């Protein structure tokens, strides 16, 4: 999760804050940083399966997601959207539409599209889990096929709207694959070989989509984007397995500590980094500066985002402890 968070942050900084800055060798890796989102979604699916397996109480599930996701999202987003409402001369209804992520689904405003998607997936997950438990993995595979068909249908039926929301809708299958993977990790039974086969098959197919996306984009940008987003599943699976092997084989204690530190506050880091980056760009800081100065500013944006996320997490932990005492 920590590695994925850093990867996404690097993409936002180098591709969207000052896109003219290129660092040889790293550029190819950095511009693929949106694959970090696929890693987030895989782990979300795995984690939610574990959570529901331990405690199937739906009320407790929603309360936990409310505290862990919705509360930080609203608290951290409100100041940003208040500032943007004033800057853009928008109305109070616009403020709330933006705050609750509805602007992504209505207008395609992708500022925090990941949270807008994950909230819906979390709301649906107890139902998904029950289907998986009652009807097995094949039921989830059928849902994935339905999602794929829905993406293709919407792509050709409403291409204008689909282009606004494709980066979210095309990522639903990776979350569902994460739920299947969660069953494999949780149960660790010999009969799970079939589930693992489905993960490997889907992962291999999505990697082919990823490799084909660039060539297809020359003829159809929208189809190329769909293949690229679908391809993130296989790439995410490969990266997770590769990193698991690396961190199992070698100690790398310092790196593990840094990545674990970043991973524990990945949601807060994601939100605050997007907001700090956008406000930096909106204020014109660094415009006309030298490349070196822009790199310094980008490093500062990264550092400020980490410090703010850490401060929020420490403050929320303090208040939770005080709440338990009282």
The pLDDT assigned to 198 comes to: 85
The pLDDT assigned to 322 comes to: 64
Structure token digits, residue 190? 């010999």
Q: Is residue 320 part of a domain?
A: no
**CB within 8 Å of 71: residues ≥ 6 apart:** none
Q: Is residue 325 part of a domain?
A: no
The pLDDT assigned to 81 comes to: 95
The pLDDT assigned to 191 comes to: 59
Count: domains in the chain: 1
Pure H helices in 66-192: 71-87, 92-99, 102-107, 113-135, 137-157, 159-169, 172-187
Contact between 152 and 110 under an 8 Å Cβ cutoff? The reply is no
Contact between 39 and 1 under an 8 Å Cβ cutoff? The reply is yes
Q: Is residue 231 classed as helix, strand or coil in its secondary structure? A: helix
The pLDDT assigned to 114 comes to: 92
End-to-end CA distance of the chain, in Å? 33
Q: Is residue 268 part of a domain?
A: no
The pLDDT assigned to 130 comes to: 94
Residue (of 258, 169, 240) closest to 203 by Cα position: 240
What is the rounded CA–CA span in Å between residue 294 and residue 296?
5
Q: Is residue 90 part of a domain?
A: yes
DSSP for 59-77 reads HHHHHHHIIIIIHHHHHHH
Q: Is residue 41 part of a domain?
A: yes
Count CA within 13 A, CB hemisphere, residue 92: 0
Condensed to tens digits (0 to 9), the pLDDT of residues 206-244 reads 999 999 998 998 888 999 999 999 998 888 889 888 888
The pLDDT assigned to 5 comes to: 87
pTM score over 0.95: no
Contact between 232 and 168 under an 8 Å Cβ cutoff? The reply is no
Contact between 111 and 278 under an 8 Å Cβ cutoff? The reply is yes
Q: Is residue 47 classed as helix, strand or coil in its secondary structure? A: helix
What is the rounded CA–CA span in Å between residue 128 and residue 147?
13
> Over pLDDT 70: what percentage of the chain?
95
What is the rounded CA–CA span in Å between residue 4 and residue 35?
8
Q: Can you give the C-alpha Rg of the chain in angstroms?
A: 20
Q: Is residue 117 part of a domain?
A: yes
The pLDDT assigned to 261 comes to: 84
What is the rounded CA–CA span in Å between residue 309 and residue 298?
17
Contact between 129 and 49 under an 8 Å Cβ cutoff? The reply is yes
Q: Which domain holds residue 219?
A: 34-248
The pLDDT assigned to 25 comes to: 67
In the chain (326 residues long), the average pLDDT of successive 10-residue segments reads 85 74 72 86 93 89 90 93 93 94 92 92 95 91 95 94 93 94 80 79 91 89 91 88 86 83 87 90 82 84 91 84 68
The pLDDT assigned to 2 comes to: 86
The pLDDT assigned to 258 comes to: 84
For the chain, give the mean pLDDT: 88
Q: Is residue 215 part of a domain?
A: yes
The pLDDT assigned to 159 comes to: 92
Contact between 263 and 5 under an 8 Å Cβ cutoff? The reply is yes
Burial of residue 216, with CB atoms counted within 10 A of its CB: 0-12 exposed, 13-18 middle, 19 or more buried: middle
Q: Is residue 310 part of a domain?
A: no
The pLDDT assigned to 319 comes to: 76
The pLDDT assigned to 214 comes to: 87
**CB within 8 Å of 161: residues ≥ 6 apart:** 108, 154
């Amino acid at each position: 999760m920590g590695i994925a968070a850093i990867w996404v942050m690097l993409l936002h900084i180098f591709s969207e804050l000052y896109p003219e800055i290129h660092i040889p060798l790293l550029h190819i890796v950095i511009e693929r940083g949106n694959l970090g989102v696929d890693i987030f979604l895989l782990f979300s699916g795995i984690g939610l399966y574990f959570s529901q397996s331990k405690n199937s109480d739906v009320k407790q599930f929603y309360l936990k997601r409310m505290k862990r996701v919705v509360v930080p999202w609203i608290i951290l987003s409100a100041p940003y959207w208040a500032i943007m409402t004033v800057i853009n001369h928008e109305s109070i209804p616009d403020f709330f539409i933006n705050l609750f992520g509805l602007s992504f689904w209505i207008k395609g405003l992708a500022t925090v599209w990941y949270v807008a998607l994950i909230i819906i997936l979390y709301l649906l997950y107890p139902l998904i889990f029950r289907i998986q438990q009652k009807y097995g993995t094949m039921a989830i595979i059928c849902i994935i096929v339905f999602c794929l068909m829905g993406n293709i249908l919407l792509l050709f039926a409403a291409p204008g709207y689909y282009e606004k929301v494709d980066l979210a809708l095309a990522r639903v299958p990776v979350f569902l694959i994460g739920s299947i993977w969660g069953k494999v990790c949780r149960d660790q039974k010999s009969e799970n070989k079939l589930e693992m086969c489905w993960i490997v098959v889907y992962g291999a197919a999505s990697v082919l989509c990823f490799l084909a996306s660039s060539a297809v984009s020359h003829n159809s940008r929208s189809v190329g984007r769909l293949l690229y987003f679908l391809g993130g599943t296989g790439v995410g699976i490969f990266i997770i397995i590769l990193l698991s092997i690396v961190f199992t084989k070698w100690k790398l204690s310092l790196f593990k500590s840094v990545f674990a530190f970043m991973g524990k506050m990945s949601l807060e880091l994601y939100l605050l980094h997007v907001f700090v980056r956008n406000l930096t760009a909106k204020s014109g800081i660094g415009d006309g500066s030298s490349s070196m100065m822009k790199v310094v500013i980008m490093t500062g944006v990264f550092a400020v985002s980490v410090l703010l996320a850490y401060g929020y997490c420490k403050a929320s932990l303090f208040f939770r402890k005080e709440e338990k005492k009282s």
